[in-house]
Amino acid sequence: MVDVREPEEMLRAAALRVTRPRLAVLRAVRAHPHADADTIIGAVREVLGSVSKQAVYDVLAALADAGLVHRIEPSGSPARFEARVGDNHHHVVCRSCGDIADVDCAVGEAPCLHASNDHGFTIDEAEVIYWGTCPDCAAKKT
């Protein structure tokens, strides 16, 4: 679920200082679900002007560590970021264009899936990526 609180409140609740770069990155992730870092950097630069790639990467890492954004890494694709956190949802990825959409938890409460052998781990999350072809790409093939 996407946190509906104001970004300033979210940062304070996570014990993070409220800074212009953090606010800009958090707002960019909210505005561009499943965006890669380059897209987020572009959106942040539109707001702040000059900002280094490293600064945005550092903010993304801090926000992910604090649980304010979620990092997903589909195979063969750059890392993507989203503001929907805490509900253990999954994703569907188009093999042709790389478009990503959310898929709600398949069954029940988190972790949604149960491992056949947990090897003694306490499992609190399951990550599933469904692969296929999006409607736009499928229409182009016909």
For residue 131, the SS3 value is strand
As annotated, the binding site includes 94, 97, 109, 134, 137
Q: Which residue segment(s) compose the domain that 115 sits in?
A: 87-141
Mean of the per-residue pLDDT values of the chain:
89
Q: pTM for this structure?
A: 0.83
Q: What is the CA radius of gyration of the chain?
A: 17
pLDDT digits (tens, 9 = 90+) for 53-106: 999 999 999 999 999 999 999 888 899 999 999 887 888 999 889 899 998 865
- How many domains does the chain fold into? 2
DSSP 70-125: EEE--TTS--EEESB-SS--EEEEETTT--EEEE--SSSSTT-S--S--TT-----
Q: 76 with 91, same domain?
A: no
Q: 59 with 94, same domain?
A: no
As annotated, the binding site for Fe cation includes 109
Residue in the block written with tokens 């709600």: 104
CB 44 within 8 A of CB 25: yes
Q: 57 with 99, same domain?
A: no
Q: Say yes or no to pLDDT of 38 above 60.
A: yes
- Domain at 16, CATH number: 1.10.10.10
Q: Report the range out of 57-61, 109-113, 120-124 with the highest average pLDDT.
A: 57-61
Q: 64 with 105, same domain?
A: no
In a domain, 104, yes or no: yes
Q: 72 with 101, same domain?
A: no
Residues 6+ apart with CB under 8 A from 25: 40, 44, 56, 59, 60, 63
In a domain, 111, yes or no: yes
Averaged pLDDT for residues 18-37: 96
Last residue of a domain, one of 80, 103, 124: 80
In a domain, 1, yes or no: no
Calpha distance 64→83 (Å, rounded): 10
Q: 12 with 73, same domain?
A: yes
As annotated, the binding site for Zn(2+) includes 94, 97, 134, 137
Last residue of a domain, one of 56, 80, 104: 80
Q: 15 with 76, same domain?
A: yes
